[in-house]
Structure 1
Amino acid sequence: MKHFEANFDGLVGPTHNYAGLSFGNVASQSNAAQVSNPKDAAKQGLKKAKALADMGMVQGMLAPQERPDIHTLRRVGFTGSDADVLAQAAKASPVLLQACASASSMWTANAATVSPSADSDDGKLHFTPANLVDKLHRSIEPVTTGNILKAIFTDERYFAHHQHLPEHPHFGDEGAANHTRLCHDYGKAGVEVFVYGRSVADLSRPAPVKYPARQTLEASQAVARLHQLSDDRTVYMQQNPDVIDQGVFHNDVIAVGNQNVLFYHEQAFLETQAKLAEIDKKMHGNTHFIEVPTAKVSVQDAVKSYLFNTQIITLSDGNMAIIAPTDCQENPAVHAYLNELVTLNTPIKAVHYFDVKQSMQNGGGPACLRLRVAMNETELAAVNPQVMMNDALFARLNQWVDKHYRDRLSTQDLADPQLLMESRTALDELTQIMKLGSVYQFQR
């Protein structure tokens, strides 16, 4: 039976804007109040996803969420018609309206944590949506995320879906952005590496002082329990609080893994050598640890270029390639390092660059846009086929974007009732294209 890692990329939503909502995300904050181009953003993401499908990767798409989120605005006391709710929120609390209009669900690396059937005790593929409690605009996502995942991975014989963790900082969970699975073969049991920023129970551990540590050890342990992962299949590593304070808000901004390769910055973790030894032991050796030294790439250059928010994929010939944003190509230090990397004796043999600037300017690179799902061909056959990327879906979704998306959006536009109508019309049509059923609040 064939085994592989599929990528499910998030479609950029019609309200893609630059509100600068993510404290601790340097790119998000530095581009606040700029005018965005939702149409370009969506097409950049689709082009990247289609390119991976053309490389032979198994590639799917995840639908965006309804925005502005009128349901949440009503929960906090705004009343009347939808237009009234938008007007009241825009006047009383523009920041709240911006949070409820964010297209942040496009970054599906935060959508959930996924454990393949090869790792779990019950032999099922497990999904737990992230609660994302550290950021208001993301904390409103998990219920709809769960609905969308259930509409794609429907067969209970193969897929297990869990409710997101309790909505409290004790269980702050950022999903796969702080989780990497290592293995020698996608179909064999691997080691799931959970990276946390702080421990609620152990206050003696170092912690950042400028920016928040979004992932807790306790959340990671809870997800491992839900996914029925044994101790010899899990490793917990603490992110270096100093790099969090330099804008490394998730582990996937400073490290990324694929199969038996962990690609990371010298300053990424605490107790690095001891934890790498634990990983190698549980992997039974033959693990490639590729450390990028600070002398060659500074943390600042890594954050600016998103060197580690790249995808490492395994091609059909068994070699690995990096999917990088063009920002890596434009950064002299990073570009020089990547040119050197492909000449070294590692499994990574090539780098492919993609323009995802609309996402990058809002704080998310190529790896933010995808949720990785290791699976086998039987499990893939049980996936909703209408979400899988091919020539027909690529053409259909580009036509859909052309029909429904604006090419210019400012934060002032978020109160426009017409934008809400456009978004709902687009999403209602999308659920028919992708055969998702009624996953949105407005459809019920």
Structure 2
Amino acid sequence: MSAFEANFDGLVGPTHHYGGHSFGNVASTGSAGQTADPRAAARQGLAKMKALADLGYRQGVLPPQERPAVWTLRQLGFQGSDPEVLAGAARQPHLLAAASSASSMWTANAATVSPSADTGDGRVHFSVANLQNKFHRAIEHEQTARSLRAIFKDTAHFAVHDALPMHPAFGDEGAANHTRFAKAYDAPGVECFVYGRRHWGGQVEPTRYPARQTLEASEAVARRHGLNPADTLFVQQHPAVIDAGVFHNDVIAVGNLDVLFCHAQAFVEQQSVYRTLDDRLGGGLRVIEVPAERISVEDAVRSYLFNSQLLDRGAGRMRLVVPEECRGHAAVWDYLQTLIHSGGPIDELLMFDLKQSMKNGGGPACLRLRVALTAAEGAAVNPRVWLTEERHAELEAWIGRHYRDRLSEADLADPQLLIEVRTALDELTRMLGLGSIYPFQYGGTGLS
């Protein structure tokens, strides 16, 4: 295999809970206050990874972050020992819950990735997302950079950039708003950045929910990756779908190689987007557009039809990985049966139970970061993060040893939970060969 697309899924962290932190994400706010099952959540995500690895896809594992983020609570004025900090923060439970979020599990927001075929210096470039729109996510980027550098540490092949400036002008949500189209993974491609608003400029914006990705952020990522402007496209997400709960582009569209699967209301000037993509690709773009009269935006959001993984099967065919929730929506399920028998590029459907993630607003696409690699680059990745039979067995046992099967917001102040998290992560870093990447391991503050 000369080049391939790997999926690096985020392991769900031990503090997975339903805090309802993400305004604009209907599933997240709708599940607020419910009791979560971190053990089931981690096993559901791991089962998806294993199934795709068994099908022959290269599957990597990204570690969770240390939570509660005690150093963040100290920055906010809580003092004393770690248990005292937690006890103080518990009196403002919204802060403790935000500092305990396991949202780094959604690694589509970890970074934007450009493969070596597209970049100016011929390396794979990662730009860590700042996620500045939401407090519970804005505290992730320092650890994300450390984790990525421990995995993609060969600087001859990889470049990991820190997050953009933490300012609304450069709101960056990572690969959830980025899709690469190409004829092959090692051929130069067209990188399509989808933004919700322009910070400096007078475009129409959503009025109900925030547009998290800015044009300015997308342009900055393209510049630092050294992308060819002729092969780079900036597209505006339709403001109306953001107001309907489409907080990232990957909730309304997904693409892979020369295939784009999207809702008819995904983009501003959508037909022009198709024409431009096809032209820059050199022809051959295959668009599967789902009409609004067949599936409403609301049903797309509730089912996460488009928050799916589109996987290459070879010979121009694709698999679509969807959450089980799609079966529960009659219009969506009927459409999917028609789709896979239509003679088009998508001819196989895979479904997974990801209920714990879905209730917090993240489906199959949210849980993985896509990285196109040549064979040499694949060999340069930290080998212990690839999911093998042995690694899967180790991770399954690790989850069983360290994860609780019930967690509510009230449990986040338990000092024992912090000990459990640190014990688990210390073991995980040894298992994955990551070194000391967490503040409790290297005696740091959590800030680089």
How does the TM-score come out when normalised to structure 2? 0.98
Work out which of the residue numbers 334, 339, 363 in structure 2 matches 1:341: 339
Note closer, same or farther for the CA distance 1:254–1:136 as it changes in structure 2 (3 Å cut).
Answer: same
CA distance in 2, matches of 1:438, 1:169: 32
Q: How do 1:80-99 and structure 2 match up within 5 A?
A: 80-91=80-91, 93-99=92-98
Question: Are 1:230 and 2:228 an aligned pair?
Answer: yes
Note closer, same or farther for the CA distance 1:270–1:318 as it changes in structure 2 (3 Å cut).
Answer: closer
Question: Are 1:143 and 2:174 an aligned pair?
Answer: no
The SS at the match of 1:321 is strand
- Any idea what the Cα deviations from partners look like across 1:391-412, whole Å, max 9, x if unmatched? 1111100100000000000011
Q: How do 1:43-442 and structure 2 match up within 5 A?
A: 43-91=43-91, 93-203=92-202, 205-316=203-314, 318-442=316-440
Q: Which ranges of 4 or more aligned residues in structure 1 deviate by more than 6 Å?
A: none
- Any idea what the Cα deviations from partners look like across 1:30-57, whole Å, max 9, x if unmatched? 0110000000000000000000000110
CA distance in 1, matches of 2:316, 2:294: 28
Deviation at 1:317, TM superposition (A): 5.5
Deviation at 1:121, TM superposition (A): 1.4
The SS at the match of 1:315 is strand
CA distance in 2, matches of 1:195, 1:317: 28
- Any idea what the Cα deviations from partners look like across 1:178-228, whole Å, max 9, x if unmatched? 00111110110000110000001112x110001000000000000000110
CA distance in 1, matches of 2:83, 2:428: 23
**Bigger mean CA offset, 105-114 vs 274-283:** 274-283
The SS at the match of 2:282 is coil
CA distance in 2, matches of 1:65, 1:305: 28
- Any idea what the Cα deviations from partners look like across 1:386-436, whole Å, max 9, x if unmatched? 110111111100100000000000011011111111001100100000000
CA distance in 1, matches of 2:282, 2:101: 43
Q: How do 1:21-40 and structure 2 match up within 5 A?
A: 21-40=21-40
CA distance in 1, matches of 2:412, 2:168: 29
The SS at the match of 2:376 is helix
Letter of the 1:402 partner, please give it. G
The SS at the match of 1:47 is helix
CA distance in 2, matches of 1:308, 1:232: 27
Equivalent residue pairs, number: 442
Letter of the 2:106 partner, please give it. W
Letter of the 1:127 partner, please give it. F
CA distance in 2, matches of 1:369, 1:278: 29
Letter of the 2:190 partner, please give it. V
Seq. identity, %: 58
CA distance in 2, matches of 1:318, 1:40: 35
Deviation at 1:319, TM superposition (A): 2.0
Deviation at 1:273, TM superposition (A): 1.1
CA distance in 2, matches of 1:439, 1:193: 32
The answer as to whether partners of 1:147 and 1:439 remain within 8 angstroms in 2 is: yes
CA distance in 1, matches of 2:374, 2:194: 26
CA distance in 2, matches of 1:164, 1:369: 20
- Any idea what the Cα deviations from partners look like across 1:3-43, whole Å, max 9, x if unmatched? 11000000000000000000000000001100000000000
CA distance in 2, matches of 1:53, 1:319: 18
Deviation at 1:316, TM superposition (A): 4.8
CA distance in 2, matches of 1:358, 1:443: 29
- Any idea what the Cα deviations from partners look like across 1:66-100, whole Å, max 9, x if unmatched? 00000111111111000000011111x21111110
Letter of the 1:182 partner, please give it. F
The SS at the match of 2:351 is strand
Deviation at 1:329, TM superposition (A): 1.5
Deviation at 1:335, TM superposition (A): 0.6
Deviation at 1:331, TM superposition (A): 1.1
The answer as to whether partners of 1:56 and 1:316 remain within 8 angstroms in 2 is: no
Letter of the 1:404 partner, please give it. H
How does the TM-score come out when normalised to structure 1? 0.99
CA distance in 2, matches of 1:319, 1:110: 27
The answer as to whether partners of 1:55 and 1:315 remain within 8 angstroms in 2 is: no
Deviation at 1:318, TM superposition (A): 4.8
CA distance in 1, matches of 2:369, 2:423: 26
CA distance in 2, matches of 1:143, 1:158: 21
Letter of the 1:155 partner, please give it. D
- Any idea what the Cα deviations from partners look like across 1:301-354, whole Å, max 9, x if unmatched? 100000000000012555210011000112111111111111223211111100
**Bigger mean CA offset, 272-281 vs 213-222:** 272-281
The answer as to whether partners of 1:60 and 1:389 remain within 8 angstroms in 2 is: yes
Letter of the 1:24 partner, please give it. G
The answer as to whether partners of 1:57 and 1:315 remain within 8 angstroms in 2 is: no
Aligned to 2:445: none
CA distance in 2, matches of 1:345, 1:294: 21
The answer as to whether partners of 1:56 and 1:315 remain within 8 angstroms in 2 is: no
Runs of 5+ unmatched residues, structure 1: none
**Bigger mean CA offset, 222-231 vs 337-346:** 337-346
CA distance in 2, matches of 1:219, 1:348: 32
The SS at the match of 2:90 is helix
CA distance in 2, matches of 1:10, 1:28: 18
